[in-house]
Amino acid sequence: MWEVTQDGSYYPKSILIGSCNELDTKQLLRKFYIAGYFIARSIYDNRLMNLPLSQVFYDLLLDRKQSLSDLSKLDHQRGSLFQTLQALAHTNADPASYDLYFYDPWNDN
């Protein structure tokens, strides 16, 4: 239900749509509902929980603006990849000069 980030805090685990059957999905949604109620109640009552939720998750709950640097806090490799791609997108260089090769795992050709 939770992913542990690099700093040891927790963030809700992403789940692929269709990867669970209907019963598992209902049980998982119920767990998220209970966890959400528990977290919301502790924030509302201004109580400290012994559950180290990530700062990115708190910012998301409080509707604060997110950025690619926040993604780096959750997954450093993916975050730095997207930051590099964003920096490349803002340059005036020719995309053909990047020597990027893409692999399609669903097509062996």
42 and 60 housed in the same domain: yes
Contact of 89 with 100, CB cutoff 8 Å? no
Q: In which domain, by residue range, is 48 found?
A: 1-65
Residue 81, pLDDT above cutoff 80: yes
Phi/psi at 19 (nearest 5 deg)? -85, -10
Give the rounded percent of residues in the chain with a pLDDT score beyond 70: 89
- Copy the structure tokens of residue 34: 């209970």
Write down the pTM of the prediction.
0.57
Q: Which residues contact 33 (CB under 8 A, 6 or more apart)?
A: none
User: Final residue of a domain: which of 65, 86, 101?
Assistant: 65
Residue 101, pLDDT above cutoff 80: no
Q: How many domains is the chain built from?
A: 2
6 and 51 housed in the same domain: yes
61 and 72 housed in the same domain: no
91 and 51 housed in the same domain: no
27 and 13 housed in the same domain: yes
CA 47 – CA 8 distance, rounded (Å): 21
Nearest one of 78, 21, 92, 34 to 42, comparing CA atoms: 34
57 and 79 housed in the same domain: no
Burial class from Cβ neighbours inside 10 Å (0-12, 13-18, 19+) for residue 54 reads buried
CA 79 – CA 13 distance, rounded (Å): 16
37 and 74 housed in the same domain: no
52 and 3 housed in the same domain: yes
- Residue pLDDT, tens place only, 27-63: 888 888 998 898 888 888 988 888 888 888 888 878 8
